[in-house]
């Protein structure tokens, strides 16, 4: 078992003030793999103080020098991708092949996206009226990240903060702290100055709330549940700090009969996308809306794909699902499945309990429900597990109505053979991102959503915008 009880504050690993410890579990084996410290308010204050002290020097560092550090970080990260994948697989259960290809690779992908954006990012702009607009760092930033895509959210927050000239305090999820602590080592190796980046571990009610309320924190960027995002916003309000939120989703996936010969391929890929990362993705296409004329066929395909989906040991290579990230999450997913059965959704595959052959670990059965209606909880509530809900629609107008019948608005997915229809739907769907026929987003594109899915965007130039203040300079004409 690793002893990871220290925090990274002021450029060094330091003993915390808190004596409260927490075991970190491997969700596949339920074995304790490390022990961390849960930060007290004194620990949070120390980290913020270090970030505040380093702020003026880092803000004054030329942009070119900050970019040079990020380029060194790219090389350092590329050299440690296998280490990052191994840590993420152990702490949250991502299968090692997927952890390397998807979970760890974001460390370089998002960095490349930010570096490309920085090539043309406008730090100042002359307006036609003679004024000049400049962008300056917000200041000390608190970055609170989740357990489901740990490195993804860390890089989407830490990298733009550093690029913008901000200093920061990172509080990763206490379920997945080890990848964050490894990333702190990479940042130090790349040459990030002392105090610019700081890391503490802790819970939301103590560490997260203290960061949200702290008067020296000028921005809090939070990724997690909508409930917790509301609490962060309320805690931040008295100090009028900026709040950026990336929250939950219940994303629709519209499947039309005009897919033609590609229908089976698109449905199978859609089920796999829903189950990716064991369903623990906020933008997962969990509501499959299907044109009535192909509804029965799509249900059969989805059932077959779910039944063919393998669940197994995440330490082994291959294309299979790992466990849910914790016992608490497993119980939540079981509750959603039981509720859908009670609501009389038609169970096509999976269901309650653990998959056959699994004797330990937080594994869930890949599950598909059909005939899901708008009155059912499974229609509205984010499950965050490998659970798909299928609903028929009569025509395009009803498909749009059903798709937009959600308080969330993170992503939407469209499967069609008609380009004009796809473009109509891109305009009609209330979501921050629309994926057509399985097309993924490129590095540097803005990630974020409407409604209860949050506010603000992450990635590329739009992600940089979250970490800057806008200042207008009005100078005499002869001084411009």
Active site residues: 246
Contacts of 127 (CB under 8 A, 6+ apart): 133
* Cβ neighbourhood burial of 375 (10 Å; 0-12, 13-18, 19+): exposed
**Helix extents (H) in 13-95:** 41-60, 63-79, 81-92
Give the C-alpha separation, 207 to 17, whole Å. 13
Place of tokens 């959503």: 449
Burial annotation 239-271 (CB, 10 A radius, 16+ → b, else e): eebbbbbbbbbbbbbbbbbebeeebeebbebbb
Contact 434, 413 (CB under 8 A): yes
The bridge status of strand 140-144 relative to strand 124-126 is: unpaired
Give the C-alpha separation, 69 to 52, whole Å. 20
* Cβ neighbourhood burial of 471 (10 Å; 0-12, 13-18, 19+): exposed
Q: Supply angle C-alpha 382, 354, 304, rounded to 5.
A: 75
Compute the CA torsion angle 116, 118, 124, 128 (nearest 10 deg): 10
Give the C-alpha separation, 478 to 480, whole Å. 6
Q: Supply angle C-alpha 205, 208, 210, rounded to 5.
A: 90
Backbone angles phi, psi at 7, to 5 degrees: -115, 155
Q: What token pair was written down for 394? A: 């009569």
Q: Supply angle C-alpha 419, 416, 370, rounded to 5.
A: 155
């Amino acid at each position: 078992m690793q002893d990871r009880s220290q925090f990274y504050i002021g450029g060094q690993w330091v003993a915390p003030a808190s004596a409260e410890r927490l075991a970190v579990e491997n969700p596949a084996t339920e074995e304790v793999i490390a022990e961390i410290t849960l930060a007290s308010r004194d620990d949070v204050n120390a980290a913020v103080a270090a970030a505040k002290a380093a702020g003026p020097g880092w803000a004054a560092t030329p942009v070119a020098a900050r970019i040079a550090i990020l380029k060194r970080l790219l090389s350092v990260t590329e050299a440690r991708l296998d280490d990052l994948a191994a840590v993420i697989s152990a702490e949250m259960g991502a299968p090692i092949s997927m952890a390397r290809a998807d979970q760890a690779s974001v460390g370089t992908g998002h960095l490349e996206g930010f570096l490309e954006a920085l090539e043309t990012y406008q730090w100042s702009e002359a307006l036609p009226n003679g004024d000049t607009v400049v962008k300056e760092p917000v200041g000390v930033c608190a970055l609170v990240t989740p357990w489901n895509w740990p490195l993804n959210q860390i890089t989407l927050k830490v990298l733009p903060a550093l690029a913008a000239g901000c200093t920061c305090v990172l509080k990763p999820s206490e379920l997945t702290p080890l990848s964050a602590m490894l990333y702190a080592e990479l940042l130090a190796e790349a040459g990030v100055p002392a105090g610019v980046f700081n890391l503490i571990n802790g819970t939301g009610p103590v560490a997260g709330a203290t960061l949200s309320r702290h008067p020296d924190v000028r921005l809090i960027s939070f990724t997690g549940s909508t409930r917790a995002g509301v609490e962060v916003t309320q805690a931040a309000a008295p100090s009028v700090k900026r709040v950026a939120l990336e929250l939950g989703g219940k994303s629709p996936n519209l499947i039309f009969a005009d897919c033609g010969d590609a229908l089976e391929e698109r449905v199978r890929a859609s089920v796999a996308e829903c189950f990716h990362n064991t369903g623990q993705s906020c933008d997962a296409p969990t509501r499959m809306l299907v044109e009535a004329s192909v509804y029965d066929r799509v249900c059969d395909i989805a059932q077959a794909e779910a039944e063919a989906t393998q669940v197994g040991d995440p330490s082994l290579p291959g294309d299979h699902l790992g466990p849910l990230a914790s016992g608490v999450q497993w119980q939540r997913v079981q509750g959603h499945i039981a509720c859908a059965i009670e609501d009389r959704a038609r169970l096509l595959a999976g269901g309650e309990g653990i998959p056959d052959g699994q004797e330990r670990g937080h594994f869930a059965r890949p599950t598909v429900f059909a005939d899901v209606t708008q009155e059912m909880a499974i229609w509205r509530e984010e499950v965050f597990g490998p659970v798909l809900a299928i609903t028929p629609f009569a025509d395009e107008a009803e498909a749009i109505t059903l798709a937009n019948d959600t308080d969330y608005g993170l992503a939407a997915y469209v499967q069609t053979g008609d380009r004009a229809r796809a473009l109509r739907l891109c305009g009609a769907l209330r979501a921050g991102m629309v994926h057509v026929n399985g097309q993924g987003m490129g590095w540097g594109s803005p990630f974020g959503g409407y409604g209860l899915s949050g506010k603000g965007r992450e990635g590329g130039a739009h992600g940089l915008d979250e970490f800057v203040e806008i200042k207008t300079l009005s100078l005499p004409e002869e001084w411009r």
